[in-house]
A and B are shown apart, each in its own frame.
Chain A
Amino acid sequence: DGGITQSPKYLFRKEGQNVTLSCEQNLNHDAMYWYRQDPGQGLRLIYYSQIVNDFQKGDIAEGYSVSREKKESFPLTVTSAQKNPTAFYLCASSMPSGGTDTQYFGPGTRLTVL
């Protein structure tokens, strides 16, 4: 998990509620990412940020929002517009360099909608 922390580890949400997942890194990485993982599947990119105060939509951004006000932090909000939010959410960070971009992952947050 390196220097990437995610909280909480488990999160329960009632339908219609927004929830925010925390991701913090102390690796001094410029880039940060949010992925969603469903059982038996690979990771799908939700949002990414290459630098502070900038972020871009990934492949499945609908129903999610992010902010990047600090280099160390990249919180993800799962809004009520996300139709099927129950999943395992992974945050990653990287320092792109010389054509390589190894992403290092946090421990994940498991979100369950009740």
Chain B
Amino acid sequence: GESVGLHLPTLSVQEGDNSIINCAYSNSASDYFIWYKQESGKGPQFIIDIRSNMDKRQGQRVTVLLNKTVKHLSLQIAATQPGDSAVYFCAENWVGGGYNKLIFGAGTRLAVHP
């Protein structure tokens, strides 16, 4: 089956630096993507989403970029803070069979060092 995956399982950055977390997807029919943040022992928290008719979307300190040509998604976090340390998941919203289904990657752990 098709799946969403990640290039880097662990990313270590210095506080104040920018972070980039990457994600590759394989289902060209998917038209909606979501980034979630999951802190240890907690449920995933919605960060930002993007439709396939967009290339870029910005939030507060976060930007998501979508490159449909190479089926690549990235999450950029500006001025990374210790509170950003968590596991980040990209999810692909696969529509078909009469329902919406989110397909998650394994996640990338972001470690922010002071």
Interface, chain A (partner B; CB < 8 A): 1, 4, 6, 31, 40-43, 45, 48, 50, 56, 90, 92, 94, 96, 99-108, 110
Contact = CB atoms under 8 A, between A and B. Distances in A.
Q: Is the interface of A mostly helix, strand, loop or mixed?
A: strand
Interface residues of B, number: 23
B106 A42 contact: yes
A96 to B, nearest CB: 5
A107 B89 CA distance: 16
B32, B51, B102, B105: most-surrounded residue (chain A CB, <10 A): B102
Given A42-B104, A43-B104, A90-B44, 17 more contacts: A1-B43, A42-B89, A42-B105, A45-B102, A48-B99, A48-B101, A50-B99, A56-B99, A99-B95, A100-B51, A102-B34, A103-B34, A103-B102, A105-B36, A105-B44, A107-B42, A108-B42
Contacts of A107: 42-43
Contacts of B43: 1, 4, 6, 90, 92, 105-108
The DSSP consensus for interface residues of chain B is strand
A101 B31 CA distance: 11
Interface of B: 31-32, 34, 36, 41-46, 49, 51, 89, 93, 95, 99-102, 104-107
Contacts of B32: 99-101
Nearest to B98: A50
Nearest to B44: A105
A96 B89 CA distance: 20
Nearest to B36: A105
Contact of A108 (B31, B41, B105, B107): B41
